[in-house]
Amino acid sequence: MAARGDHDRAQGALTRGRIGAAAVALVLSTALSACGDGVTPSTPDLQERFVQVVREASPKVVQIQSRLDLGSGVVFDTRGHIVTNMHVVEGAQRFVVTLAGGERHTATLVGADRSHDLAVVELDGATPRPATFADSSRLRVGDLVLAIGNPLGLRSSVTQGIVSSLRRTISESRTVRLSPVIQTSAAINPGNSGGALVDLSGRVVGIPTLTAVNPELGGEPSAGIGFAIPSTVVTQVATRLIATS
């Protein structure tokens, strides 16, 4: 299935990781030295760590639905604020948010920042447990990553990859350039926008936003080339939007 979204040419063409079905993506990233005592873990140990992180991180991801679109968000704090991409909530003020356990709540737009493609919505009458945000400046190329979310409406799907590059500058549209962003080989399928990137401790390291597409193949998604907004940018922008609302 081809990805939907705006296609641009910057480091190749790009498409937003969203579709008219709910989506979230979490990406898991860490140096192998963080996997315990600095020794590369055995396959069973690494597999168990993946299982534990998915179990810990998945409840922090929600589905956001407006009259225009479906997307994803990450629980930001204990006051019911959800951080997501601006293009997930663009054109709407009220939303229905479905928590990981299936509970549905209404939510209101708090604020948005087009220059970083980030937005915050606030739940009405619900304060789910928030995610922990890591220092994304500590990421290294080669760190293991997982993508967890609801791509194509398939809830709690997981993909795996690595951090492919750091501090990329990409064009989301003719007027919006995002920098710095994280490039990852973990699959960011249509519908992943607004999810979270997390390390092997389950901490968020970024928000998946775009997937590269190949113009020579009619705009089909390019496997293994996705981009995410670093958590250091996410926390700064979300904190500002909440404080000035």
Catalytic residue list: 87, 117, 193
pLDDT digits (tens, 9 = 90+) for 22-45: 333 333 333 333 443 444 567 789
**Which domains are seen in the chain, by residue range?**
1-245 (2.40.10.120)
pLDDT digits (tens, 9 = 90+) for 180-194: 999 998 888 767 788
Mean local confidence (pLDDT), 80-96: 95
**pLDDT of 227 above 70:** yes
Of 61, 9, 1, nearest to 213 (Cα)?
9
CA distance 102 to 124: 16
Count CB atoms within 10 A of the CB of residue 43.
Answer: 7
pLDDT of residue 104: 93
**pLDDT of 15 above 50:** yes
Least confident of 2-6, 153-157, 194-198, 207-211: 2-6
Residue 61 corresponds to which amino acid?
V
User: Of 26-30, 127-131, 193-197, which one has max mean pLDDT?
Assistant: 127-131
Q: What angle do CA 70, 122, 228 make, to 5 degrees?
A: 55
Q: Please, how many CA atoms are within 13 Å of residue 191, restricted to the half-sphere of its CB?
A: 21
